[in-house]
Amino acid sequence: MEKSGDKSLLWRAKVLIGLLNVAFFYFRIADFQDVLREPKIALGKLRELSFSGIPCEGGLRCLCWKILLNYLPLERASWTSILAKQRELYSQFLREMIIQPGIAKANLGVSREDVTFEDHPLNPNPDSRWNTYFKDNEVLLQIDKDVRRLCPDISFFQRPTDYPCLLILDPQNEFETLRKRVEQTTLKSQTVAKNRSGVTNMSSPHKSPAPNSLSEYQVLPNGCEAHWEVVERILFIYAKLNPGIAYVQGMNEIVGPLYYTFATDPNSEWKEHAEADTFFCFTNLMSEIRDNFIKSLDDSQCGITYKMEKVYSTLKEKDVELYLKLQEQNIKPQFFAFRWLTLLLSQEFLLPDVIRIWDTLFADDNRFDFLLLVCCAMLVLIREQLLGGDFTLNMRLLQDYPITDVHHILQKAKELQDSK
């Protein structure tokens, strides 16, 4: 039996550890605040702090992500003017792109253009506004299907936003919401399926299923919109502005964590503009990873095939026994690493853990080189199961990753990086 003195010492040690952890937490917040209050942000110091995780208290994560994703410049004095300019630009995108052909509002500063005999719904001219409208519907239907099932393990995206887009929902104007546009279209969803990988589902097996039909979703009162509708609008505008890539399934999984982080910002002034801020951060992020979504670039040095092979070449360098085992079983990186890399691990872990991983990815100078190391670390950490498993068991492990401790994974990835 333990002596009462031993129990007392153990209790005191636990209390002391708890107090030290609390003190460390507040010291970290103070460190971030010190860096962020400087007239010019020291990017190197901010990256160093953010690599180990960014506190969400006080909106620190939201602010740091906007800097790390090059939305906000390092000079604090220019933040107010740049934010105002970008948010107004996004409002202009809404005015120009989420409208029906032939509808315009004088009070928004847009002159009315009547539909004439030269431009009608059956006009085959590719420059016809009606033709553009119908082609946009094809993209919109795929976006709508994907965003409605975004993060089905939490209810956030189905709940109404506190800041609905008044420009779209104002009853005084005639703008049509994307949700109404989808409900009214007669196109069939099977005509619009565009999947980057050529498979029917890029979702992780352990993700909760989402409702399949529009009728299964709660109908919100007039003047309200769900968070998924905001994400839908962001993706639709991105597709309109980037016709070369438009929308590819999986982009919804990239924009989701960004929007969730900004829409839950404790600073209401910034939270109100989550949609515009998410759009520009998503656009900047996509500029770095868009090659993953372009099939014609797969076999180039910037394509996804090269990156998947890089995961295996790194594994061969770090753990040749495990590498040879996967080769022996003909387990190709395409079977699992395609989703890991393309979706930045957003389907492998729960949303809070994805956000923590992204803290590190966004903070690293070569953020997507580090992603390759994270993927390699995920393999090394389950090496014993993989070495002892057959093809079927190992495929199940890789497609439904068993480790949930992302801190352990990131620590292992850093060890692999430092061992070069």
Helix (H, G, I), strand (E, B) or coil at 224: coil
pLDDT mean over 236-257: 94
Q: How far apart are CA 285 and CA 216, in angstroms?
A: 32
338 close to 201: Cβ distance less than 8 angstroms:
no
22 has a pLDDT exceeding 50: yes
> What does the pLDDT look like over 348-405, one tens digit per residue?
999 999 999 999 999 988 878 899 999 999 999 999 999 999 999 999 999 999 999 9
User: Position of tokens 């980037």?
Assistant: 242
- Report the pLDDT value the prediction gives residue 272, as an integer from 0 to 100: 95
H helices of 148-192, where? 166-169, 178-184
> What does the pLDDT look like over 135-185, one tens digit per residue?
788 899 999 999 998 998 899 999 999 999 988 887 776 677 888 888 877
pLDDT mean over 207-233: 73
Q: Hey, what long-range contacts does 378-382 have (CB within 8 A, 24 or more apart)?
A: 378/340, 378/348, 378/403, 378/409, 379/311, 379/315, 379/319, 379/322, 379/326, 380/315, 380/318, 380/319, 380/322, 380/412, 380/416, 381/408, 381/409, 381/412
- Report the pLDDT value the prediction gives residue 166, as an integer from 0 to 100: 87
48 close to 10: Cβ distance less than 8 angstroms:
no
- Report the pLDDT value the prediction gives residue 69, as an integer from 0 to 100: 97
Q: Kindly provide the b/e burial profile for residues 356-373, where b requires at least 16 CB atoms within 10 angstroms of the residue's own CB.
A: bbbbbbbbbeebeebbbb
Highest mean pLDDT (candidates 3-12, 109-118, 200-209, 271-280): 271-280
- Report the pLDDT value the prediction gives residue 134, as an integer from 0 to 100: 74
193 has a pLDDT exceeding 50: no
Domain ranges of the chain: 11-58, 78-186+222-292, 296-419
pLDDT mean over 44-73: 95
130 close to 101: Cβ distance less than 8 angstroms:
yes
pTM for this structure? 0.84
Q: How far apart are CA 370 and CA 358, in angstroms?
A: 11
> What does the pLDDT look like over 356-371, one tens digit per residue?
999 999 998 887 889 9
- Report the pLDDT value the prediction gives residue 187, as an integer from 0 to 100: 43
> What does the pLDDT look like over 76-92, one tens digit per residue?
999 999 999 999 999 99
Residues 6+ apart with CB under 8 A from 325: 386, 387
389 close to 397: Cβ distance less than 8 angstroms:
yes
State whether the Cα torsion 115-116-122-125 is positive or negative: negative
Which residues does residue 226 pair with via DSSP β-bridges, in sequence order?
A: 160
417 close to 372: Cβ distance less than 8 angstroms:
no
133 close to 125: Cβ distance less than 8 angstroms:
no
197 has a pLDDT exceeding 60: no
pLDDT band at 111 (very low <50, low <70, confident <90, very high): very low
Q: Which CATH class is domain 296-419?
A: mainly alpha
pLDDT band at 209 (very low <50, low <70, confident <90, very high): low
> What does the pLDDT look like over 337-347, one tens digit per residue?
999 999 999 99
